[in-house]
Structure 1
Amino acid sequence: MSGTAARVADATGNWVDTLAPPWSRPYLRLARLDRPIGSWLLLMPCWWSAALAAGVTCDVSRLPLVVALFLVGAFAMRGAGCTWNDITDRDLDAKVERTRSRPIPAGQVSVRQALVFLAAQALIGLLVLLQFNRFAVATGIASLVIVAVYPFMKRITWWPQVVLGLAFSWGALMGFAVILGRIEAAALLLYAGSIAWVIGYDTIYAHQDADDDALIGVKSTARLFGAHTHQALIVFYALAVVLIGLAMWLAGAGLPAWLGLAAFAAHLAWQIRRLKIGDPALCLRIFRSNRDAGLLLFVGLLADAVMRASSG
């Protein structure tokens, strides 16, 4: 099969299709580098936590390096997680229109090759993790249990998005672990708020596959909420804003952080108002816009950290 064949339907026309060597394209698609939104969403809680923790210490001298390491680590571990997901879901993916063209069900990559690629990505993530203190290393390794079980949750619970939230929000703990060498109450609240955010945006994402999921028996909050999705999003997005706000309050955040949270909240409200669950293309666009929502909050937290450092 050629390197340009078997592209996933919502990932066409990107740099992987046009610039990457043909032999590398199936592996880049396994790592979702043709669709990096998941890596950005994994990264956002890491950056939030690092900026909030730096504000607590009134010291941003380490922040640029930590932000850069989190960037590399998030892309590596997101790729590893997606590769593991594709290995475990290969039979289900073959039955779903949007995913049947993924590299493993399409026959571009064997399971053995995917496992080797998984190990290589995990090694990069480990090398990043080892740049931090021992507590942060142990905290990072602990997340692997959640990552390992997540792909199986859609088979046994209507709430797989909760487990995804536990995994994707782990970075909210990591920033405090790296900067402070401990996990404070503010980090736990930030983690809880991020989980609520993930449940919301991944429910939007899951509406793309709701019909196919019903046919093959895969569960999701999109199917669970159905016509009540907008009301559910109001609950989870409001919970995210409140919990993140409590985390900021405990951490002594100043005006720039609160302005960032207000912008984040406004973006989430816009998503709910704009969403039409019967329009898969719109669901994908709104899901992707959560990177921008996360960046708005990060900019506020970063500005607050810099301000506190300069005045401290």
Structure 2
Amino acid sequence: MSVWQKKLGLYLDLIRWSRPAGWLLLLWPTLAALWLAAGGFPGWHLLAVFVLGTVLMRSAGCCVNDVADREFDRHVKRTAQRPVTSGVLSVKEALGVGAVLALLSFALVLTTNRLTVLLSFAALAVTLIYPFAKRWVSMPQAVLGLAFSMGIPMAFAAVQGEVPPLAWWLMLGNLFWVLAYDTEYAMVDRDDDLKIGIKTSAITLGRLDVPAVLLFYLLFIGIWHLALMHKGLGAIYLVAMGVALVQVAWHYSLIRHRSREGCFKAFRINHWLGFAVFAGIAAGYAV
């Protein structure tokens, strides 16, 4: 294997290329917003911009996160072998990769309109702030929720040239979904995080973590359903929301004993819940 092949492998590991669950969690609510803003299929241009932009920005976020957390990650078994933490990639290299990916994403945004471009700066700011939030904020997952929800107002801005109230309601609901799945993620590392001294929602919530996660899921589905009731998306949409609720029950069965394996599996399968909601919306317009 050549030096460049090894380096490419490290870069792909840095951006979690083999673990697409992260960008799928970003993608489904963003696509749902695109479909809602356009009243159906938004066109190939915007679809390409937001799919590629989502993958690129999530990858850039991984670079920043790994640099910010490199001292913490070496004390956590699950993250100790990340390229920056283990020292096989330098901080300069990781930030360079992140900068290139962010610039490529920004180039895509430049093909939309002024409001979307302005919102992209806000999205970038929250993305850069999040890795440091766990040092000071009791529930840094709320900051991640803002970062992972910025695609929603950007989608409406790209299609309609404005951000209507519906977008902000959807963003609020999505924030609760992020709180749900990232609390599951934090439950995996709770023992390590307590030793290190960082803050997470799993630590802040304590023994209320499981009921809180269930509440966050229900708030996500409830807010989105109330916001979309007037859209007349039909029976197939209602079935999809029912499928999402069934998945919430599945998550409860996985996390109720708070095992690392169960909580990590619950986090990894979350993209199916998001897909169910998006599929219901897209199918509702198609029918």
Instruction: Normalising by structure 1, report the TM-score.
Output: 0.86
Provide the rounded CA distance (Å) in 2 between the counterparts of 1:85 and 1:78: 10
1:257 maps to which of 229, 237, 262: 237
Identify which of 147, 162, 172 aligns with 2:152. Answer: 172
Q: Matched residues in 2 for 1:204 and 1:256: separation?
A: 29
Asked if structure 2 preserves the Cα contact closer than 8 Å seen for 1:165 and 1:195, the reply is yes
**Is 2:189 the counterpart of 1:209?**
yes
Quote the offset at 1:251 in angstroms. 4.4
Matched, 1:53 2:37: yes
Note if contact 1:50-1:176 (Cα within 8 Å) is conserved in structure 2.
yes
Q: Percent identity?
A: 36
Distance of 2:246 and 2:103 partners within structure 1: 39
Deviates more, 1:200-209 or 1:23-32: 23-32
Question: Paired residue for 1:35?
Answer: 19
Q: Which region of structure 1 is more displaced relative to structure 2, 252-261 or 179-188? A: 252-261
8 Å Cα contact 1:54-1:305 kept in structure 2: no
Structure 2 partner of 1:153:
133
- What is the deviation of 1:253? 3.8
Give me the TM-score of the superposition, normalised by structure 2: 0.93
Offset at residue 21 of structure 1 (A): 3.0
1:296 to 259, 276, 284: 276
Hey, what's the Cα distance between the residues in 2 that align with 1:245 and 1:47? Answer: 16
Distance 1:146 1:282 in 2: 30
Name the CA shift for 1:297/1:282 in 2 (closer, same or farther; >3 Å): same
Please identify, of 273-282 and 24-33, the stretch whose mean Cα deviation from structure 2 is larger.
273-282
Superposed CA RMSD in Å reads 1.9
Q: Distance in 2 between matches of 1:276 and 1:35?
A: 25
1: CA distance, partners of 2:111 / 2:220:
30
- CA distance 1:84–1:250, change in 2 (3 Å): farther
Three-state SS of the structure 2 residue aligned to 1:21 is: helix
Matching of residue 191 in structure 1 with residue 171 in structure 2: yes
Deviation at 1:250, TM superposition (A): 4.8
User: 31-40 or 225-234, which moves further after superposition?
Assistant: 225-234
Question: Which structure dedicates a bigger proportion of its chain to helix?
Answer: 2
- Runs of 4+ in structure 1 off by over 4 angstroms are none
Matched, 1:21 2:1: no
1:250–1:130 CA distance, 2 compared to 1 (3 A): farther
Q: For structure 1, list consecutive stretches of 5 or more residues without a partner in the other structure.
A: 4-19, 308-312
Supply the AA of the counterpart residue of 1:22: K
Q: Distance in 2 between matches of 1:249 and 1:63?
A: 24
List aligned pairs for 1:96-115, cutoff 5 A.
96-115=76-95
Q: Give the letter aligned to residue 42 of structure 1.
A: L
Partner amino acid, structure 2, of 1:51: W
Give 1:252 deviation, angstroms.
4.8
Separation in structure 1 between the aligned mates of residue 241 and residue 115 of structure 2, nearest angstrom: 29
Q: Does 1:141 pair with 2:125?
A: no
Q: Does 1:231 align with 2:211?
A: yes
1:73-84 map, 5 Å: 73-84=53-64
Q: Deviations along 1:136-179, whole A, 9 cap, x unmatched?
A: 12112221111111111111122101000010111121221111
